[in-house]
Amino acid sequence: MARRILVLNGPNLDLLGTREPHIYGTATLADVEALCAERAAAHGLEVSCRQSNHEGELVEALHEAGADTECVGVVLNAGAYTHTSVALHDAITATGVRVVEVHISNPHAREPFRHTSYLSSVAEMVVAGAGVRGYGYAVDQLATG
């Protein structure tokens, strides 16, 4: 088995490319996954990509990543769950999996409810406001950090 990074996307990220392109751009989730695969390959790693609109599925994916000795970490864009999910916070803490939190937009330049992240305190790094390029930065961090 090759060493790998899990790219985990939360609610509504399956709508990238059509959802509020003035905020999130026109890149699709498939574009994000291709970018991550390319960046990981440059480090000799593979990626596994998952997206779910369901909090419990994201928690289970974090559990699996934490138990997978070949997984070097998780690139996590939890979408709206960033601002609400104690369960995701606890899954990261419980498993000890390395996580880089990614936001396509800059949450601090948006509505006040988006200014608080339940995940940042347990993430190794936070990338925000870099568009989908932020996923590449996250992959680089997990591969080299």
53-100, pLDDT tens digit by residue?
999 999 999 999 999 999 999 999 999 999 999 999 999 999 999 999
Q: What pLDDT is recorded for position 115?
A: 84
Higher pLDDT pick, 23 / 15: 15
Q: What pLDDT is recorded for position 63?
A: 98
Is 24 among the catalytic positions? yes
Residue 22 has pLDDT above 90, yes or no: no
Strand partners, 48: 6
Higher pLDDT pick, 41 / 22: 41
Q: Tally the C-alpha atoms within 13 A of residue 42's C-alpha that lie toward its C-beta.
A: 12
Is 135 among the catalytic positions? no
Query: How many other CB atoms are found less than 10 A from the CB of residue 36?
Result: 23
Q: Can you tell me the mean pLDDT for 112-126?
A: 92
Q: What pLDDT is recorded for position 20?
A: 84
At residue 10 the predicted structure's pLDDT band, cuts being 50, 70 and 90, is very high
Q: Which domains, and CATH codes, for the chain?
A: 4-142 (3.40.50.9100)
Catalytic residue among 24, 81, 118, 135: 24
Amino acid at 135: Y
Instruction: Summarize pLDDT for 42-55 with one digit per residue, the tens.
Output: 999 999 999 999 99
Higher pLDDT pick, 106 / 113: 106
pTM across the whole model: 0.94
Mean pLDDT of the chain: 95
Helices (H), the chain: 21-24, 29-42, 55-67, 86-95, 133-144
Catalytic residue among 22, 63, 81, 103: 103
